[in-house]
Amino acid sequence: MERIAVIGTGYVGLVTGCCYAEIGHEVICVDIDPDKVRRLSLGEIPIYEPGLGELAASNQAAGRLSFTTDLARAVQDSSIIFIAVGTPTLENGEVDMQQVRGAVETLARQMNDYKIIVMKSTVPVGTSRRIRQWMEEGQQRPVPFSVVSNPEFLREGTAIHDTFHPDRVVIGSDDADAALRVERLQAAFGGEVVRTDPESAELIKYASNAFLAAKISFINEMANVCEKVGADVSLVARGMGLDNRIGPKFLQAGIGYGGSCFPKDTRAQLKIAQNADYDFRILRAVIEVNTLQRERFVEKVTAALGGNATGRSITVWGLAFKPNTDDLRDAPALDIIRALQERGAVVTAYDPAAASKASALLPGVRCLTDPYEAAENAEAVVIATDWEDLRRIDFDRLRSLVRKPLIIDGRNMFAPAEMAEKGFTYVSVGRPAFPGPV
């Protein structure tokens, strides 16, 4: 069993810490925010992630998981140190490395004996080498250490499952012994191991996210073509996805991707290429298409309202960037709502998890946790997040509540023909309104 410190109790850090504790390691999670640490110690989980609260509680009770602000003690008590601090994007598109640098510099000062420093945060190419340099500069006396890049691929909402069932484990290091020790640590989770140099490991993370984002933007452009030629993008995606070289996943057309990773990582990758004097044309288009898709959708909603949104009551179902999370970072719904407000619409919103968080971000919008209440007197119901509970909506009840039976679905949740049968005018993305697929 290893003694592990995890620096940063954000999404990645918290999930990583809990999962390692769950397989028997002794884990101490460190954060600079005393209030957060206090709340975590009391069992309050600051993020919405199914199963994480239970995992944290049982491991705290078993004495394998603890939280502290005392980085010095955490470092000295551990042999493997994961860095999982935030790497936000700066105005100019560069990755803000301040938190990583801060953590590494403190780490350097606190080293008492050999440590393996494992980089979990998504960081630009060359970071492993920069960490080595910062460590050497920051140490008061030379203490040996190794640096390993071990990027994280977990998805919000399924983070625990993803950690326990990884498709692959990427380990990039120049130090074979340290790489092997991290590999052994991960062995309990399974997944094919890809051993690389540090630079390749750092790029694999960006390349994977950029490629998935490209799949989404590709199918969204296909959807736009489908609308023009009268085809159905869900059938096109199905036909494409059955080719196992393409695969069916990430071919769901809609209002585009959001969240804390794809928007940030695609922009960062573009910048990384630019800094290396390379214009990554496809990626530039992927990002542009994603922005345009939100704008197109606002046009679609306005058109469905007869070309004018002024003074119209619109209900938006779904605020989080995807289901099973309360994360609103770069959520398409927020942009769409703001654009509808700019056009004069009065917006009421529903989200089962993100409503209260969203009210602070959306002045003038009533954010509720009941889809029916949110839809009262609506002239249009807009679907922005494909929450599972929306699949169980009682459409008769909905029809009796709304002013007009009009649904504009940005996630293609329902079959157009069925919606027409239920008495709704139903507009979706890349599919004919009616009769729809047979």
> How far from chain centre, in Å, is Cα 429?
22
Positions 253 through 272 that interact with ligand UDX (CB under 6 A): 254, 256-259, 261-262
If you search the block for the tokens 């919405």, which residue do you land on? 48
Judged by CB, which is closer to ligand UDX: 23, or 47?
47
Q: Is 205 annotated as a binding residue?
A: yes
> CA-based Rg of the chain, rounded to a whole angstrom?
24
Q: Per CB under 6 A, which of residues 152..181 are in contact with ligand UDX? A: 152-156
321 binds ligand UDX (CB under 6 A): yes
> Which tokens hold the place of 140?
């008061």
Per DSSP bridges, beta strands 346-350 and 366-368 are parallel
In the complex, the smallest distance separating the C-beta of residue 384 from ligand UDX, rounded to whole angstroms, is 10
| Cβ atoms of 272 and 206 closer than 8 Å | yes
Tokens found for residue 80? 């493997």
Q: Which residues contact 143 (CB under 8 A, 6 or more apart)?
A: 111, 112, 113, 114, 115
Q: Closer to ligand UDX by CB, 141 or 245: give it.
A: 245
Of 76-95, binders to ligand UDX (CB under 6 A) are: none
Residue among 55 and 383 whose Cβ is closer to ligand UDX: 383
Within residues 193-212, the interface with ligand UDX by CB under 6 A covers 209, 212
Nearer to ligand UDX, 107 or 272 (CB): 272
Q: Assess 250 for contact with ligand UDX (CB under 6 A).
A: yes
Give catalytic status of residue 19 as yes or no. no
Indicate whether 9 belongs to the interface with ligand UDX (CB under 6 A): no
Any binding-site annotation on 251?
Answer: yes
Instruction: Give whichever of 190 and 344 is closer to ligand UDX, judged by the CB atom.
Output: 190
Question: How far apart (Å, rounded) are the C-alpha atoms in residues 53 and 154?
Answer: 17
Q: Choose the catalytic residue: 18, 29, 261, 367.
A: 261
Annotated binding residues, written as ranges, equal: 31, 36, 87, 122, 153-156, 205, 250-254, 258, 264, 322, 329
Which residues contact ligand UDX (rule: CB under 6 A)? 152-156, 209, 212, 216, 250-252, 254, 256-259, 261-262, 321-322
Give the residue numbers marked as catalytic.
261
Annotated binding residues for NAD(+), written as ranges, equal: 31, 36, 87, 122, 156, 264, 329
